[in-house]
């Protein structure tokens, strides 16, 4: 499956290294989604958001360095940024939660 996605533009043959990277990143997504489903807590969502942020940053770096993978890397960066934003928003405490904690501590 990664071969078809990576080779969708039809430019050059897809290397075994590119397929391996795609499989590792796909596995990371599955593991992250499983962990989030099993423990949908703020810290787990925050960790997932941090990983998605790093992934988006690495995609931007790849786009800057590799004309061959630029389009795919930029598309992936946009998707990962969306995942990161969703993760960060679900990891944040609800509005007013900090105030409530302070009031209880008084």
State CA 80 to chain mean position distance: 4
pLDDT 10s per residue in the chain (106 long)? 777 777 776 677 788 988 898 899 889 989 998 998 898 888 888 999 999 999 999 999 999 999 988 888 899 899 999 999 988 888 777 666 665 555 555 5
Spans of all domains in the chain: 2-105
> What pLDDT does residue 50 have?
93
pLDDT given at position 96: 66
- pTM for this predicted structure: 0.74
């Amino acid at each position: 499956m990664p071969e078809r996605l990576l080779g969708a533009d039809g430019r050059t043959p897809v290397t075994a290294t590119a397929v391996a990277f795609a499989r590792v990143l796909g596995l990371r997504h599955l593991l992250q989604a499983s962990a989030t489903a099993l423990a949908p807590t703020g810290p787990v969502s925050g960790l997932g958001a941090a990983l998605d942020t790093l992934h988006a940053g690495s995609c931007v770096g790849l786009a800057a360095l590799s004309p061959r993978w630029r389009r795919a890397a930029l598309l992936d960066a946009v998707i990962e940024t969306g995942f990161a934003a969703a993760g960060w928003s679900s990891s944040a405490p609800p509005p007013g939660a900090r105030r409530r904690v302070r009031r209880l501590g008084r």
